[in-house]
Amino acid sequence: MRTIKIFDTTLRDGEQSPGASMNTAEKLQLAKQLARMGVDIIEAGFAIASPGDFEAIKTIAGDVEGPIICSLARAKEEDIKRAWAAIKDAPKKRIHTFHSTSEIHLKHQYRIGPKEALKRSVEMVKLAKSFTDDIEFSPMDATRTDIGYLCEVIEAVIKAGATTVNIPDTVGYSIPSEFGAMIKKIRKRVKNIDKAVISVHCHNDLGLSTSNSLAAVLNGAGQIECTINGIGERAGNCSMEEVVMALRTRRDLFNADTNINTKEIMRSSRLVTSITGMRVQPNKAIVGANAFSHESGIHQDGLLKEKTTYEIITPESIGLGKTKYVLGKHSGRNAFRTRLSELGYTLSDDEINNAFKLFKEIADQKKDMYDEDLAALVSSEVSTVPEKYKLIKMSVSSGTDQKPSATIKMRVGTKNIQKTQKGDGPIDAIFKAITGITGTKSRLLKYEVKAITGGTDALGEVIVSLEEDDISVTGHGADTDIITASAKAYINALNKITARKK
């Protein structure tokens, strides 16, 4: 079983995401969390980029223990010296220098030939080596570089002292089969490759950064460069949590793992979100809000019987509490019954059937059903109180130029009765119509409305207190339509008064 090194560049490449800049205090906080998680190398920044970046790297180098602290540097003398000044106080340190090797970059950006690029690369690796033994070199835009020239550069920089050679897919151009084959060719054609660790740094422009990184591991790479939540330049970098959990879950295939404490993954993800303000999409692998949420009734039923039916990773393994069963219109009776039981409700089969029918009706109207929604639903619809009065249907009209009116149809005992009444408002009209149908003489003591959960589709709960013949009761009603909930609450209270009288 090989151990793959995790080189985290959230503080350097990740910070290059628009709007993701971090100050020194934020970088230090995140670096300490990365150390707690067990990353092998932290690329703390680009020392020559700004005074702030230099100070952040220097602070991390002095305060963070465990990982190797690394600074990026172009293949320029001033960059190398600045990088060394930033990291020299770290117990374990690395200089990471780079130079482009692709014809596109050399011709249009650097405007030099391949020989000059090779000469500069070797000279700067030697300079970096004079400061520290741990040197990483990256031939930038490697995946668009001629393979023969690429191997020549790699062999030369290893000879000059590089202990890690990083193969970057700088513009996210490669695909897994091609990238894996490139790593295989480098291992075969570079004579001294055994003296260096092969690293990979894949960008996500085609959505293949994680796949490319894993293909590289299958072909001998020993280090993966990645970021928390996959943030970074343009479409981002290889996502740390994805490659780590892929290796952990499929050790049978990769015969490799990492030193990462996966239970710190969720905390790290949330910290990056908090610091940068870059939210994770709900369907993001591993750390997305929906990654361990199940709404499908078929999936929920399987999970309740055996977790491995639909989960290949446990939420506990990344620092989450447990699987989330999202109750919605796709959910099944088994998940509904189980959740009610977890909330403390013990219902008969008939009560479950009645509540589940109403649950489906409400779930068609709103996106999510929360525990509070379920509690309100059960309280208002599942009751041991005999239903002398039952709402069948209702309609209400109201506006600025008309007096509100309500038409109510109810079942009273075995009869269906309908009545229309006007009132000062739609709720007053409803209550008058109900009173007219039932012939009751109750006095309204309290009328209270509250939204159980957030959003415009929230389930609303109405609480009505009535008094009649020295009997005081409280009725509950819940619905996405607050007017319907009001009618249900009033009728629920009347049924309680009738039962108390008997």
pLDDT value of residue 251 = 95
- The closest alpha carbon to 390, from 496, 475, 492, belongs to 492
- Is residue 310 within 8 A of residue 301, CB to CB? The reply is no
CATH topology classification for 389-501: Double Stranded RNA Binding Domain (3.30.160)
DSSP string, 340-403: HHHTT----HHHHHHHHHHHHHHHTTSS-B-HHHHHHHHHHH--SS--SEEEEEEEEEEETTEE
Fold that domain 2-276 belongs to in CATH: TIM Barrel (3.20.20)
Q: How confident is the model at residue 438 (pLDDT cuts 50, 70, 90)?
A: very high
Give 368's pLDDT tier (boundaries 50, 70, 90): low
For residue 457, pLDDT beyond 70? no
Residue extents of the structural domains in the chain: 2-276, 293-379, 389-501
**What pLDDT is attached to residue 180?**
98
At 127-155, the pLDDT tens digits run: 999 999 999 999 999 999 999 999 999 99
Task: Please tell me the least confidently modeled range out of 56-60, 86-90, 399-403.
Answer: 399-403
Residue-wise pLDDT tens digits, 61-117: 999 999 999 999 999 999 999 999 999 999 999 999 999 999 999 999 999 999 999
Determine the pLDDT at residue 303. 53
Which DSSP helix (H) or strand (E) runs through 35?
A: helix 24-37
Out of 14-28, 67-81, 129-143, 158-172, which region has the weakest mean confidence (pLDDT)?
14-28
| Cβ partners under 8 Å of residue 304, min gap 6 | 334, 335, 338
pLDDT per residue as tens digits for the range 179-225: 999 999 999 999 999 999 999 999 999 999 999 999 999 999 999 99
Question: Which has more confidence, 3 or 457?
Answer: 3
Q: Is 7 within 8 Å of 199 (Cβ atoms)? A: yes
Q: Is residue 478 predicted with pLDDT exceeding 70?
A: yes
Q: Greater confidence, 19 or 92? A: 92
pTM: 0.69
Confidence of residue 446 (pLDDT cuts 50, 70, 90): confident
- What average pLDDT does range 402-418 have in this prediction? 93
CA pair distance 37, 34, nearest whole angstrom: 5
Residue whose structure tokens are 């602070």: 59
pLDDT of residue 94: 98
Range from 33-42, 441-450, 460-469 that averages highest in pLDDT: 33-42
Point out the least confidently predicted range of 45-49, 98-102, 397-401, 431-435: 397-401
Average pLDDT on 308-330 reads 71
Pair 20, 14: CB distance under 8 Å: yes
Q: Which of 245-254, 265-274, 367-376 has the highest mean pLDDT?
A: 245-254
pLDDT of residue 220: 97
* Mean of pLDDT over the chain: 88
Residue 166: helix, strand or coil by DSSP? strand
**CA separation for the pair 199, 69 (Å, rounded):** 16
Each residue's pLDDT tens digit, 278-298: 888 888 999 887 766 655 555
Question: What would the mean pLDDT of 260-286 be, rounded to a whole number?
Answer: 89
Residue in the block written with tokens 């892929």: 246
Statement: residue 328 has pLDDT above 80: no
User: Can 2-276 and 389-501 be said to share one CATH topology?
Assistant: no
